[in-house]
Amino acid sequence: MQSRILFLDYDGVVNTPMWNKKGTKVSYGFPEDGKVNNFQAVQWVSELCRKCKFDIVVTSSWREEKSYRKCLINGGLRRGVTIADALPVDEGKNRGELIRDYLLLHPEIKYYLILDDEDDLLPEQLPHLVKTNASYGFLEPEYDRAIALYLKSKSAGHP
């Protein structure tokens, strides 16, 4: 596993509300569809991982499906981007607690970012969060914020 991790939620980040052919707004796609639905957001995530050498750890509830990796790959994840792992499923803990526990189990992780449309995180994780708008997900403005956070951490001496 890389020393840099991108904790990635799907819904509201790379899977966003869509319109059907009848012109009716529908909810998010689901794992049964076989892919996340926001190709542009997946491309921005791919570019962030490529540029900053992040491996992905999936935080999405989709991780409960055995096809969670394929859903991201089928949604356009670029070759060479590694989906290293997923958070364990633990109904008794919120996402922030699961991320904290994951980091404690993986001391090789020296830097991380979190892409999520919610902020159910611990206070010490908030500086690592790039919060997305659930209506459109992770696009260029969020990419720019993620790059700025990463560069700021590098100037502070993080790998």
CATH topology of domain 4-155: Rossmann fold (3.40.50)
Domain boundaries, the chain: 4-155
Residue 136 neighbours by CB under 8 Å, 6+ apart = 16, 38, 41
Neighbours of 93 (CB within 10 A): 14
| Cβ neighbour number for residue 23 with a 10 Å cutoff | 6
pTM: predicted TM-score of the whole model, two decimal places? 0.92
What confidence tens digit (pLDDT) does each residue in 81-107 have?
Answer: 999 999 999 879 999 999 999 999 999
pLDDT tens digits, 19-39? 666 766 666 666 667 899 999
Percent of the chain topping pLDDT 70: 89
